[in-house]
Structure 1
């Protein structure tokens, strides 16, 4: 019996181990507990551009990015894509499934070839009861996302496009040790995220550059020269 457990377990180690050890909601657990989490995971690969789930699909799974990137977006009534967030290695989606039976409100799409680890609701709920620290970690991610959405809603309701772009640059800069911002997404998605158009973004960046606040190093790399200037835009 145990030999079987061992081989089964060995088979899992590579990808699943990564999924658990890279994910902030799990990586604080002890080895024995990590193994338990690993045993409840499956791994699936998606090609660039493939849809992982659609709005309206039954939602009963937590999806964790093992490597690659996933874009989460919604479709407006008009059919226009509304970019919500980009998930990188160690980040997850499908979290609403943890608490109730629901359907997806958004779409998830692989931005590059992506490997994902999956865990079913019932398995995760069992773990949450056993190891309450996981719940606290998930709640902390929830509250960050909520705070971010609230900030974004306020910004969109009250500010002009240039202010939104400046605020996005400052926000993105907070996550990097240098004075350079790398856009985490392409201009089309960034425009959708900031509620404007790619042309407007290009125009406003050029304007911010002419005022000496930033320097455009490349299409995706921006150096921030005057953070206080940006905050006042």
Structure 2
């Protein structure tokens, strides 16, 4: 769905500054959020304050639909990782869009399926005690969407937060994987081979 078309459906365009929380766990959902500019991360936080990244959403992507569709409270924080503009669609608008736009409905099903696959894969990996296997699987998964020689747009801290590892462990493993040729680095960034 093109963001310009969504602007016509909704009168709710909201800007968030970097670091601003969009919603928190326990809040009741009211909208599906479409990103017209910026980036958002979805995180859960454990009792020690450590973040675990559930997802990163960029321009032309959306989030918040599972909780809204199920009328269940949010389970995670969503935080703007840079200055971000969102188009907010209320439940009725979103459901109407699903009902009247087959192409969009298929896109939503595909997106939800990809997210479910990712969560299942990560759950299996988190149960694996071998940090190198866990990180290798995550990097391989994230690189699938990239073109050859395209840079993986994820920091080492984000990789740590996504895999449940310490950033120092991620840095050490990336160096090791680069030396063995498992991954390619360009100016310190991981690139798809």
Answer whether TM exceeds 0.5 for this pair: yes
CA distance 1:39–1:180, shift in 2 (3 Å):
closer
The answer to whether the 8 Å contact 2:98/2:104 transfers is: yes
Which residue of structure 1 aligns with residue 176 of structure 2?
207
Which residue of structure 2 aligns with residue 145 of structure 1?
115
Aligned-pair RMSD on alpha carbons?
Answer: 2.2
Note the alpha carbon deviations across 1:22-55, whole angstroms, 9 max, x for none: 59xxxxxxxxxx47x7233421111111111111
CA distance 1:140–1:180, shift in 2 (3 Å):
closer
CA distance in 1, matches of 2:16, 2:192: 35
Q: Does 1:21 align with 2:29?
A: no
Q: Does 1:49 align with 2:19?
A: yes
Larger Rg: 1
The answer to whether the 8 Å contact 2:43/2:76 transfers is: yes
Q: 1:222 aligns with which of 182, 186, 190?
A: 190
Q: Does 1:117 align with 2:98?
A: no
Within a 5 Å distance, the mapping from 1:41-190 to structure 2 comes to 41-158=11-128, 160-182=130-152, 184-190=153-159
The answer to whether the 8 Å contact 2:33/2:86 transfers is: yes
Which residue of structure 2 aligns with residue 31 of structure 1?
none
The answer to whether the 8 Å contact 2:39/2:82 transfers is: yes
Which residue of structure 2 aligns with residue 198 of structure 1?
167
Instruction: State the TM-score, normalized to the length of structure 1.
Output: 0.74
Instruction: State the TM-score, normalized to the length of structure 2.
Output: 0.88
CA distance in 1, matches of 2:50, 2:190: 27
Local SS of the residue matching 1:103: coil
CA distance in 2, matches of 1:46, 1:157: 35
Per the TM alignment, residue 82 of structure 1 is displaced from its structure 2 partner at its CA by 1.1
CA distance in 2, matches of 1:131, 1:206: 47
* Larger RCO of the pair (alpha carbons < 8 Å, separation 6+): 2
Length, aligned pairs only: 193
CA distance in 2, matches of 1:180, 1:123: 36
CA distance in 1, matches of 2:67, 2:30: 5
Per the TM alignment, residue 177 of structure 1 is displaced from its structure 2 partner at its CA by 1.6
